[in-house]
């Protein structure tokens, strides 16, 4: 009977614990992300400050997000007043946008049947991420350029992709047959893609009647032989854009308290590795929005199974946690450390290994 009750209690405890864990996981990012009284999402896209949908809600006009709810369901966010549509904004300093792909298509006789030359223009410290994105050129009689501006200078680079026959494409990687890929320089804020062919695709037309070029998130595109025809139906692909909240260094930014963007007391400033401007992040052990007053909140590591490294009892502290061993135990309490060991002296441990009661007794004594 007693045992039965214990079992029931244990089960109850486990299920309560489970509910608790799943809830704490799903609410983990449930801190306030926008300014008070500001819309913090558009459709299913979160809009954390410094971004905002109206005056008073953004850091400055560069971080305006225009939410179009009249023509789109769910509503779609656009960057400032451009046609650049945003799919993710991260507080780590990235924004994912959809970018049109360039296409150059021909009829059998070599006359152009479709051509477009998309471009993207960013401003004020919004820059194309040069590590997450790659320039892809797809086609069997194709060369392409990506050009534009970085700082106050132009850049121009490109690659060429050919193949003689469909079976050149059995290799499903982008290594120069039917597909080439390359990096673009740091700090690009304007990107233009131009496509061209050597023979208007007449020599390859039976299996390839279009060329494609795009700067896109590398992980969003995998080349295969079917890309030649599948891309015909693709309008846009995601691209990663980096943002910074100021154009100066952290040291310079800190000099002006009123304009310094790292508002939360528990935030710190860092400079992104593309070499432009500064950003803010929460100090270790804190999470939330570093750009808001009091935006960084203490993480309760004890409630998070992946952070709670304690063997027995975990106590949350501001910015951290500590492991506590029950009375009669010693050690650092960490699962990957000493853990909690009974008693204090090896002599006692050995001597009392066979009797639990005695052991407890010994522990207390030592304490």
Ligand X SMILES: *[C@@H]1O[C@H](CO)[C@@H](O)[C@H](O)[C@H]1NC(C)=O
Residues that bind ligand X (CB under 6 A): 36-37, 44, 60-62, 66, 68, 70-71, 74, 93-94, 105, 107, 110-113, 124-125, 129, 131-132, 151-152, 200, 209, 229, 240, 242, 245-247, 256, 258-259, 272-274
Least separation, in Å, of the C-beta of 311 and ligand X? 34
| Of residues 258 and 306, the one with the C-beta less far from ligand X | 258
Least separation, in Å, of the C-beta of 77 and ligand X? 10
Least separation, in Å, of the C-beta of 209 and ligand X? 4
List Cβ neighbours of 319 (8 Å cut-off, separation of 6 or more).
266, 283, 284, 285, 286, 298
| Of residues 229 and 249, the one with the C-beta less far from ligand X | 229
Least separation, in Å, of the C-beta of 147 and ligand X? 18
Pick the closest to residue 79 from 155, 188, 166, 189 (CA basis). 189
**Structure-derived torsion over alpha carbons of residues 93, 96, 97, 102, reported in degrees to the nearest 10:** 110
| Of residues 164 and 229, the one with the C-beta less far from ligand X | 229
Please, what is the end-to-end C-alpha distance for the chain in angstroms? 36
How far is CA 231 from each of CA 221, 234, 238, 331, 343, rounded to the nearest angstrom? Answer: 10, 5, 14, 60, 68
Structure tokens, 36:
């008070």
Least separation, in Å, of the C-beta of 78 and ligand X? 7
Structure tokens, 283:
């100090």
| Of residues 163 and 323, the one with the C-beta less far from ligand X | 163
| Of residues 94 and 147, the one with the C-beta less far from ligand X | 94
Least separation, in Å, of the C-beta of 57 and ligand X? 10
Summarize the chain as % helix, strand, coil (round to 5): 20, 35, 45
- H or E element: which one contains 367? none
Phi, psi of 359, rounded to the nearest 5 degrees? -60, -50
Structure tokens, 276:
């432009």
Structure tokens, 306:
């992946």
| Of residues 295 and 333, the one with the C-beta less far from ligand X | 295
How far is CA 102 from each of CA 20, 49, 85, 172, 195, rounded to the nearest angstrom? Answer: 49, 33, 17, 22, 7
Least separation, in Å, of the C-beta of 351 and ligand X? 56
| Of residues 272 and 288, the one with the C-beta less far from ligand X | 272
Pick the closest to residue 272 from 98, 79, 130 (CA basis). 130
| Of residues 27 and 37, the one with the C-beta less far from ligand X | 37
Structure tokens, 33:
């992300």
Least separation, in Å, of the C-beta of 11 and ligand X? 35
């Amino acid at each position: 009977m007693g045992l039965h009750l214990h079992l029931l209690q244990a089960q109850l405890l486990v299920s309560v614990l489970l509910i608790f864990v799943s809830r704490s996981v799903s609410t983990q990012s449930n801190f306030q992300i926008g300014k008070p009284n500001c819309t913090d999402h558009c459709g299913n896209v979160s809009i954390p400050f410094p971004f905002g949908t109206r005056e008073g809600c953004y850091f400055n006009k560069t971080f305006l997000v225009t939410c179009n709810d009249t023509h789109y369901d769910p509503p779609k966010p656009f960057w400032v007043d451009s046609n650049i549509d945003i799919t993710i904004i991260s507080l780590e300093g990235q924004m994912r946008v959809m970018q049109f792909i360039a296409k150059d298509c021909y009829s059998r006789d070599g006359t152009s049947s479709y051509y477009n030359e998309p471009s993207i223009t960013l401003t004020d410290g919004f820059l194309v991420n040069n590590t997450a994105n790659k320039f892809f050129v797809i086609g069997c009689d194709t060369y392409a350029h990506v050009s534009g501006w970085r700082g106050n200078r132009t850049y121009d680079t490109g690659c060429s992709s050919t193949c003689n026959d469909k079976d050149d494409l059995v290799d499903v990687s982008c290594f120069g047959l039917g597909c080439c890929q390359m990096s673009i320089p740091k700090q690009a804020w304007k990107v233009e893609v131009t496509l061209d062919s050597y023979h208007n695709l007449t020599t390859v037309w039976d299996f390839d009647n279009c060329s494609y070029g795009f700067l896109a998130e590398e992980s969003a595109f995998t080349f295969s032989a079917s890309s030649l025809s599948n891309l015909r139906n693709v309008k846009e692909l995601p691209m990663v854009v980096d943002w910074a909240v100021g154009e100066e260094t952290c040291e310079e930014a800190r000099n002006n308290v009123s304009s310094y963007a790292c508002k939360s007391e528990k935030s710190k400033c860092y400079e992104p590795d593309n070499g432009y401007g500064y950003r803010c992040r929460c100090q270790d052990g804190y999470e939330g929005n570093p750009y808001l007053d009091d935006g960084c909140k203490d993480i309760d590591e004890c409630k998070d199974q992946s952070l709670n490294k304690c063997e027995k009892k975990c106590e949350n502290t501001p910015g951290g946690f500590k492991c506590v061993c029950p009375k009669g135990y010693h050690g650092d309490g960490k699962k990957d450390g000493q853990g909690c060991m009974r008693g204090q002296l090896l002599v006692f441990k050995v001597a009392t290994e066979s009797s639990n009661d005695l052991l407890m007794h010994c522990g207390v004594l030592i304490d």
